[in-house]
Amino acid sequence: MNKYIPNTQAQKAEMLSYIGIDSVDRLFDCIPDSIKDRNGMNIPEGLSDIELEGKLRSLSGKNLNVNDAVCFIGAGAYDRYIPAVVKALISRQEFLTAYTPYQAEASQGLLQAIFEYQSLICNLTGMEGSNASVYDGGSALAEAVSLSNSVKRKSRVLVSGCLNPRYRQVLDTYVRYKDMKTVEIDSADGVTDLESISKDDLAESGCLILQNPNYFGCLEDMESASEFAKRNGLHLIVSVNPISLGILQSPGEYEADIVTGEGQELGNGLSFGGPYLGFFAVSKPLIRKMPGRIVGMTKDLEGKAGYVLTMQAREQHIRREKASSNICSNQALNALAAAIYLSVLGKQGVVDVAKLSFNKAHYLYNGLKETRLFKERFTSEFFNEFVLDAGVNVKQIQDAYLNNKILLGYGLANEFSDMKNSLLIAVTEKRTKKEMDLVVEMAGDMS
């Protein structure tokens, strides 16, 4: 018997006899013989734990992990420091091995933690309501459009040309089946050019999507974007970098309607792209239309405060085909990591991490653009990520750096036809002056 099954042969026999059958096979008599095929499944014999660990270590060893390199790749996932506290606490079995907290009385711990997560996201973004998280940054945006559409009911979605192209692809996949289409807004100097939107597109659209800092790292003028959206009766949806909000204007301050973003940076490992979490926050009028799980505070029958999953009448298990979203989970453990991370950082820490990232990124930017290997692409202000154009093939440059265990940025050639030799470089609080001096020195040597 496999080691996760406690029952012995004797116990099984006892149970079968109690049920009144002579063999386990009888329990599967309900399955027609014509489709039963025990030989059909070509799965190898089970590995012992020792063999399994050996195999997995060998597989993991074929990857370069960012601890053995210096990572300047961002583009939607960032190599940030994760305090040991985060990993230790989310490993607690009471969180890790629990189900969705539908049984409130047996789940007060997780419910309170999610309530705190929602509160932390609201305070960070300056918004009035947050859900318990969705799958990732891309799907959060798709859900935001769906929410907006339930109010505006228009056929087009205005999308900044400086939006993360992977988010754009996810969005395109989702809106296609709602008889909607996305319209890309031109950009100028690395930021969205709202003046370029045609009158026709404006009239047919219900929402405006911007990312800030945008995919190129540049800062958008969100104040103006918000005024523009209001003037034209559009919902302003913004996808934000959560760490940037330590120093950058919050979406609440410029009165965004829906705020989404990738929460990986908040205490979640890179993990080759997932699991991450999409955070999702809204202004007051949209709270009851939010998708996904939401925790609310209430009282028990003695009047004591407690927490429950709330406003469930919006959700698929009640509304079925009339539900606004089909989501039936959140990234609870990742959201818990985000809550713990933000608690650890605290009021000052989030500012410090943002400032460290900002300053270091500007130090590297200034160093690299002075070399003959690179030149600046945009003059717009940026946060911790920037684009540089290389005089020669970027792949060659990246390979040369990789030989020194440096992952220098992400090439934009596949995503933007006019950026064949452009590199998107991200700098986090983990990077040191020494590492960056080496990068600049190598660039000098290469040019």
Partner 1 sequence: MTKLIFEKGKPGRRAIHLPKMDTPDYMNTLSKKYMRKTPADLPEVSEPDVVRHYTDLSTKNFGVDANFYPLGSCTMKYNPKINEYMAALPGFSDVHPLQPEHTVQGCLELMHCLQQLLCEIAGMDAFSLQPAAGAQGEITGLMIMRKYLNDHGLEHKNIILVPDSSHGTNPASAALAGFTVQTIPSDQKGQTDLQQLKEMVHDGVAGLMLTNPNTVGVFEEHIEEIASVIHSVNGLLYYDGANANAIVGIVRPGDMGFDLVHFNLHKTFSTPHGGGGPGSGPIGVKKFLEEYLPNPVVKKDSDRYFLDYSSPCSIGKIHSFYGNFGVLVKAYCYILNLGREGLIQVAENAVLNANYIAKRLGEFLKIPFDKGFMHEFIVSYDTLLDQGIHAKDAAKRLIDFGIHPPTMYFPAIVSEALMIEPTETESKETLDRFCDLMEQIYQEGINDPELLKTTPHTKTVRRLDEVAAARNPVIKYME
Within residues 293-332, the interface with partner 1 by CB under 8 A covers 293-302, 304-308, 310-313, 315-323, 325-332
Q: Is 369 in the site for partner 1 (CB under 8 A)?
A: no
Amino acid at 420: K
Closest C-alpha among 400, 424, 396, 390 to residue 410 = 424
* Shorter beta-carbon distance to partner 1: residue 185 or 427: 427
Binding of partner 1 at residue 360 (CB under 8 A)? Answer: yes
The interface region with partner 1, picked from 155-163, 184-192, 230-238, 242-250 by CB under 8 A, is: 242-250
Contact yes or no for 138/168 (Cβ under 8 A):
no
Number of residues that bind partner 1 (CB under 8 A): 203
Q: How far apart are CA 237 and CA 254, in angstroms?
A: 12
Omega within 30 of 0 (cis) for the link into 242 = no
Q: Which of 181, 183, 250, 391 binds partner 1 (CB under 8 A)?
A: 250
Element (H, E) at 422: strand 422-426
Site for partner 1 in 34-93 (CB under 8 A): 34-38, 40-47, 49, 52-53, 55-68, 71, 73, 75-77, 79, 83, 85, 88-89, 91-93
Q: Which is nearer to partner 1, 202 or 409 (CB)?
A: 409
Q: Which positions from 143 through 172 interact with partner 1, judged by CB under 8 A?
A: 164, 166-167, 169-170, 172
Angle at 179 between CA 173 and CA 184, to 5 degrees: 60
Cβ distance to partner 1 smaller for residue 274 or 391: 274
Q: In what order do the strands lie in the sheet with 374-376?
A: 374-376, 385-390, 422-426, 410-411
Q: Which one of residues 189, 230, 288, 447 is an interface residue with partner 1 (CB under 8 A)?
A: 288
Any alpha helices (H) in 76-133, and if so which ranges? Answer: 84-90, 93-96, 108-125
Report the alpha-carbon distance of residue 127 to residue 257 in Å, rounded: 8
Interface residue with partner 1 among 191, 248, 259, 390 (CB under 8 A) is: 248
Q: Examine residue 438 and tell whether it contacts partner 1 (CB under 8 A).
A: no
Q: Which residue number, 44 or 153, has a Cβ lying nearer to partner 1? A: 44
Contacts 24+ apart (CB under 8 A), 433-440: 433/360, 433/363, 435/70, 435/406, 436/360, 436/363, 436/364, 436/367, 437/367, 438/404, 438/406, 439/70, 439/72, 439/364, 439/367, 439/368, 439/401, 439/406, 439/408, 440/364, 440/367, 440/368, 440/370, 440/371
Taking the least distance from each CB to partner 1, the nearer of 155 and 310 is 310
CB under 8 A: which stretch of 31-39, 153-161, 191-199, 230-238 binds partner 1? 31-39
In the complex with partner 1, which residue's Cβ is closer, 196 or 326?
326
Contact by Cβ (8 Å): 284, 275? no
Output 232 or 343, the one with its CB closest to partner 1: 343
Select 174 or 374, whichever has its Cβ closest to partner 1.
174
The minimum distance between CB 213 and partner 1, in angstroms, equals 10
Which residue, chain included where needed, has tokens 């028990």? 300
Q: Which of residues 261-280 bind partner 1 (CB under 8 A)?
A: 262, 269-276
Q: Which of 152, 289, 362, 369 binds partner 1 (CB under 8 A)?
A: 362
Residues 331-350 that bind partner 1 (CB under 8 A): 331-334, 336, 339-340, 342-350
- Chain positions 3 to 22 lying near partner 1, rule: CB under 8 A, are 4-7, 11-12, 14-16, 18-20
Contact call for residues 164 and 75 (beta carbons, < 8 A):
yes
Cα distances from 247 to residues 104, 263, 335, 348, 379, in angstroms, run 37, 17, 22, 11, 20
Rounded CA separation 240/263 (Å): 10
Could you say which residues in the range 201-240 bind partner 1, by CB under 8 A?
Answer: 219, 221, 223
Extract the tokens encoding 277.
Answer: 């979490």
Name the residue nearer to partner 1 (CB basis): 85 or 392.
85
H or E segment to which residue 227 belongs: helix 222-231
Residue 203 CB, nearest distance to partner 1 (Å)? 24
Q: What is the rounded CA–CA span in Å between residue 14 and residue 16?
A: 6
Query: Which 178-197 residues touch partner 1, going by CB under 8 A?
Result: 178-179
Binding residues for partner 1 restricted to 104-133, rule: CB under 8 A:
104-110, 112-113, 115-116, 118-120, 122-124, 126, 128-130, 132-133
